Amino acid sequence: MKVAVGQFAVTPDARANAQTCVDFMTNAAKADADLLVLPEALLARDDGDPDLSVKSAQDVDGEYLATLLRQSAGNTLTTVLTLHVPTQPGRAANTLFALRNGEIIARYEKLHLYDAFAMQESRLVDAGHQIPPLIEVAGMRVGLMTCYDVRFPELALAHALNGAEVLVLPAAWVRGPLKEHHWQTLLTARALDTTCWVIASGECGTRNIGQSRVVDPLGVTVASAAETPALFYADISEERVAEVRARLPVLANRRFADPQLQ
């Protein structure tokens, strides 16, 4: 599978942000990518208004998503990103969408809200309640996660035990002391926990670190970006998953389902 990972700095202008997504989708499709992973919360952002992502939330039939669906029509590229969708007045769900051939093939409301490091996502955002189903891309099974989810190994492990070979993670990883170290360490740990590929896209700019990565099932970063806008590619394979799982059979060695431990 050929994967594309795009990162950019989200602006206060939703139409401009949608056009940036369209440009990434166009280039990824021209490069014959099977999967494009974009960052989290792509509607609008403003350093002077931390609530703009929720204030600008759009329904599923809104202009932003309609623009991306039109762009996705007519090719087999699968695009993954998150947008805020209204749930009730003044509140929204941070919703991951997987788009392909003009359709929404999967959606997932973020389970773990970022109530940490003096931030409180739950103040205006409602948490999801369901683990999303796997999607299939170019013959590989893909599990869906969003940003802060990466700190909770149970979700990644649930995907792997259900058959995932790839984990995708749109993110907006906030800058701060040791945060870049946490990002790299957690992505590597989730790859090793699950022996899956991890495809993580991070929003960049003044608040967030960027540093998107493709990590292989043995925890090796095979492609990455720095802190500026970028679109890069990597080839991943199910053969690498099988090879690593034969050498490091952590999923088969788990004993938490063993009746002797009950």
Q: Would you please indicate which residues are annotated as catalytic (active-site) residues?
A: 40, 110, 147
CA atoms of 221 and 214, how far apart (whole Å): 6
Please enumerate in sequence order all residues whose Cβ is within 8 A of that of 40, keeping only pairs 6 or more positions apart, or say none. Answer: 81, 82, 94, 146, 147, 170, 171, 172, 203
CA atoms of 117 and 53, how far apart (whole Å): 19
Amino acid at 139: G
* Residue position matching structure tokens 């995907």: 159
Q: Which residues pair with 137 in a beta bridge?
A: 140
Please enumerate in sequence order all residues whose Cβ is within 8 A of that of 24, keeping only pairs 6 or more positions apart, or say none. Answer: 4, 6, 8, 36, 38, 231
Phi, psi torsion values for 2, nearest 5 degrees: -95, 125
